[in-house]
Amino acid sequence: MNLLDLDPAGAEKTIGAWVSAHGLPRYRTEQIARRLWQQPVGAWRDVSDLPATLREALDRDLPIVRLEVQSMELSSDGTKKFLWRLADGEMIESVLIPSGTRRTLCISSQAGCALGCVFCATGRMGFRRNLTVAEIAGQVREIVLRDPTDRPTNIVFMGMGEPLLNWPAVDTTLTILNHEQGFGIGARHITVSTVGIIPGMERLRARPEQFRLAISLHSPNPASRIGLMPVEKKYALGDVIAEARRFGRRVTFEYVMIAGRNDSDGDADQLARLARPLAAHVNLLPLHPGGAPGLTPTSGNRIRIFAERLREAGVEAVVRRSRGLDINAACGQLYVEMAEKRRRTESAASPG
Ligand code: SAH
Ligand code: SF4
């Protein structure tokens, strides 16, 4: 039983049952529950306001499961990249990006990714496995535990993996992030990024909270999009846009700029025709290294012209600054080298 896999209501119920089974006063439930996410502790033995015997019993019956930090790298721009080792040896990354009073944490939802977008380093790793709730929300928890002044104000599901292909775990994690008895982060400060997994978008839409949705578009027409994102075959651009319209809240389009692939004036005009009716906000991202060789970033000047063309067509477009590039922590660069090395050694060692 891992309490950290439950949502706050479920955890409270489980703790409540345990507390009453042990003949303890009811107020203990709240005192214990708040140590899961509100004031996290690494182990029950560290909770000094609980009796020692109770702490021991908790560590025995309802132990707190941790993510092990394998490394932490600090970029010259203040961005921090955390590499976590999971219980089965899989590795995932989170990136903390400070900006003024804001601290945005970019979290992973899967180890690797099955979707193989050609420009993305995680895509090149292939799919390893889905993360559990405790592993996704645990990325936030561990960072708060290490340094309370790092407590994230914003969360983006833009690390490794496709969150909407791990919906049950992401669903519960969203509750933990937002809930008063969880991390208490406002829904408008939590963004789920997807390539357009339509069933997942429908589920996110069904939630009453105002979570934000970012759609990784990367091309305004199906023929060229399919060359960048194989998922276009399964969930076609037109259907993704239609679902974005049904979402009812303003969405963001993510658009990685790749020279000669999606950065012409014609592309800008087509993109504007998709974005304007939705009042979608467009984030233009300079292409970062790590994807397929042979892709070239669009020049800074060309990105500015593209952005200006969108604005002239009445679309809100922002060129995103690359953060954490010096430590390979930028969007799309997350990739666990050790997994690759291990696979290489394994295949080198295999007979034949
Ligand atoms: N799978 C989800 C969320 C993780 S990817 C998705 O694709 O939306 C997070 C963001 O990183 C996406 O917007 C993605 O397009 C972007 N990204 C991927 N590779 C990139 C690269 N090489 N350079 C810049 N951004 C990249
Ligand atoms: Fe997966 Fe997103 Fe990378 Fe595409 S961009 S391979 S969906 S993580």
Pick the last residue of a domain from 19, 42, 61. Answer: 61
Inter-residue contact 137 to 64 (CB < 8 Å): no
pLDDT of residue 193: 97
Both 52 and 158 in one domain: the answer is: no
pLDDT of residue 338: 55
Both 161 and 297 in one domain: the answer is: yes
Asked if the structure places residue 349 within a domain, the reply is no
pLDDT of residue 349: 46
The reply to whether the predicted model has a pTM over 0.85 is yes
Query: What atom in ligand 1 is closest to the CA of residue 218?
Result: 15
Both 225 and 295 in one domain: the answer is: yes
What spacing in Å lies between the alpha carbon of 161 and ligand 2's midpoint? 6
Give the whole-angstrom CA distance, residue 33 versus residue 4. Answer: 10
CATH of the domain at 23: 1.10.150
Per-residue H/E/C for the chain: CCHHHCCHHHHHHHHHHHHHHCCCCCHHHHHHHCCCCCCCCCCHHHCCCCCHHHHHHHHHHCCCCCCEEEEEEECCCCCEEEEEECCCCCEEEEEEEEECCEEEEECCCEEECCCCCCCCHHHHHCEEEECCHHHHHHHHHHHHHHCHHHCCCEEEECCCCCHHHCHHHHHHHHHHHHCCCCCCCCHHHEEEEECCCHHHHHHHHHCCCCCEEEEECCCCCHHHHHHHCHHHHCCCHHHHHHHHHHHCCCCEEEEEEECCCCCCHHHHHHHHHHHHHHCCEEEEEECCCCCCCCCCECCHHHHHHHHHHHHHCCCEEEECCCCCHHHCCCCCCCCCHHHHHHHHHHHHHCCC
Query: What residues have CB less than 8 Å from 15, skipping those under 6 apart?
Result: 3, 29, 32, 33, 62
Interior angle at CA 271, CA 265 and CA 273, nearest 5 = 110
Q: What is the pLDDT of residues 152-167, one digit of tens each?
A: 999 999 999 999 999 9
**Residue 344 pLDDT class (50, 70, 90 cuts):** low
The answer to whether residue 207 scores a pLDDT higher than 90 is yes
Both 83 and 19 in one domain: the answer is: no
Query: Domain span at residue 36?
Result: 3-61
Query: What atom in ligand 1 is closest to the CA of residue 290?
Result: 22
pLDDT of residue 351: 43
Number of the ligand closest to the Cα of 219:
1
- CA nearest 198: which of 210, 206, 188? 206
What spacing in Å lies between the alpha carbon of 109 and ligand 1's midpoint? 13
Asked if the structure places residue 350 within a domain, the reply is no
Asked if the structure places residue 319 within a domain, the reply is yes
Both 123 and 57 in one domain: the answer is: no
Binding site membership of 109 for ligand 1 (Cβ less than 6 Å): no
Number of the ligand closest to the Cα of 232:
2
Asked if the structure places residue 268 within a domain, the reply is yes
Q: Annotated catalytic, 331?
A: yes
Both 57 and 77 in one domain: the answer is: no
Query: What atom in ligand 2 is closest to the CA of residue 120?
Result: 3
Both 56 and 94 in one domain: the answer is: no
Query: What atom in ligand 1 is closest to the CA of residue 159?
Result: 4
What spacing in Å lies between the alpha carbon of 117 and ligand 2's midpoint? 6
Task: Copy the structure tokens of residue 29.
Answer: 């439930």
pLDDT of residue 263: 98
Asked if the structure places residue 11 within a domain, the reply is yes
Binding site membership of 119 for ligand 1 (Cβ less than 6 Å): yes
Q: What is the share, in percent, of the chain residues with pLDDT greater than 70? A: 95
- Average pLDDT value for residue range 195-206: 98
Asked if the structure places residue 351 within a domain, the reply is no
pLDDT of residue 335: 77
Of these residues, 12, 93, 135, 142, which one is catalytic? 93
Pick the last residue of a domain from 61, 87, 106. Answer: 61
Q: Between β-strands 252-257 and 281-286, what pairing exists: parallel, antiparallel or unpaired?
A: parallel
Pick the last residue of a domain from 15, 41, 61. Answer: 61
Both 27 and 109 in one domain: the answer is: no
Both 166 and 223 in one domain: the answer is: yes
- Average pLDDT value for residue range 105-133: 96
Asked if the structure places residue 23 within a domain, the reply is yes
Q: Annotated catalytic, 254?
A: no
Asked if the structure places residue 156 within a domain, the reply is yes
pLDDT of residue 274: 98
Both 113 and 227 in one domain: the answer is: yes
pLDDT of residue 337: 65
The answer to whether residue 350 scores a pLDDT higher than 60 is no
Both 92 and 230 in one domain: the answer is: yes
Residue whose Cα lies nearest atom 14 of ligand 1: it is 332
Number of domains in the chain: 2
The answer to whether residue 347 scores a pLDDT higher than 70 is no
Helix 237-247 to helix 198-206 angle (10° resolution) is 0
CATH of the domain at 115: 3.20.20.70
Q: What is the pLDDT of residues 258-306, one digit of tens each?
A: 999 999 999 999 999 999 999 999 999 999 988 888 999 999 999 999 9
Q: What is the pLDDT of residues 217-262, one digit of tens each?
A: 999 999 999 999 999 999 999 999 999 999 999 999 999 999 999 9
Inter-residue contact 19 to 32 (CB < 8 Å): yes
- Measured CA to CA in angstroms, residue 65 lies from 42, 87, 157 at distances of 8, 9, 22
Both 52 and 96 in one domain: the answer is: no
CB-defined site of ligand 2, < 6 Å: 113, 115-117, 120, 122-123, 161-162, 195, 216, 332
Q: What is the share, in percent, of the chain residues with pLDDT greater than 90? A: 89
Q: How many residues does the chain have?
A: 352
Q: What is the pLDDT of residues 13-72, one digit of tens each?
A: 999 999 999 999 999 999 999 999 999 999 999 999 999 999 999 999 999 999 999 999
